[in-house]
Amino acid sequence: MRYYDLLQLYFERSNALQWYWTIYVVVIGGLLAFSSLRQRPDARTAALVTVLYCFFAYKNLGAIKDVTDQRLAIHRAIVSLPGDRLDVKEIDLRPVIEPTLLPPEYPGVRNFHVASDLLTIAAIWAMERRRVKAAKAAPLV
């Protein structure tokens, strides 16, 4: 595989990773909007939403792990490609491009994802708790 092909593959995997993060943020936004617009307290709904979100987050993190591993493998291939396999343009390009290719290691990505998941679940239950308190404080009509 040529240097250019590896670079192209690296950026294709970067785009895939960006899509997984975009989907993740959109789902969290929709989930929090849904939770904030509910008016009546219902712990079963909150529990169901929590479980379904956990399933989604687990699968999303798995996809992010796969793509992160792929990016790291491609990065290793890029930096270990021998110089004698490069043409003149690639030799000039290498010192400019390679320092900018800094894929994050998976443990940091995982920790960020899990922290975001926990905060999202905490927000769902904080809104549910607020609905319960509001229902108790509201006079019966």
pLDDT of residue 141: 60
pLDDT of residue 51: 98
What are the structure tokens assigned to 58, written together?
A: 């687990």
What are the structure tokens assigned to 53, written together?
A: 């979100």
pLDDT band at 90 (very low <50, low <70, confident <90, very high): confident
pLDDT band at 71 (very low <50, low <70, confident <90, very high): very high
Nearest by Cα to 69 from 18, 16, 106, 98: 106
pLDDT band at 86 (very low <50, low <70, confident <90, very high): confident
Q: Name the packing angle between helices 43-80 and 3-37 (round to 10°).
A: 170
Asked if the model's pLDDT at residue 88 lies above 90, the reply is no
Q: How far apart are CA 133 and CA 126, in angstroms?
A: 11
Asked if the model's pLDDT at residue 115 lies above 70, the reply is yes
> Residue 105 gets which letter from DSSP?
P
pLDDT of residue 140: 66
Q: How far apart are CA 30 and CA 22, in angstroms?
A: 12
pLDDT, tens only, 24-61? 999 999 999 999 998 888 999 999 999 999 999 999 99
What are the structure tokens assigned to 9, written together?
A: 């593959």
pLDDT of residue 39: 86
Contacts of 77 (CB under 8 A, 6+ apart): 1, 6
Q: How far apart are CA 81 and CA 139, in angstroms?
A: 73
For the chain, the C-alpha Rg in angstroms (whole number) is 22
pLDDT, tens only, 51-60? 999 999 999 9
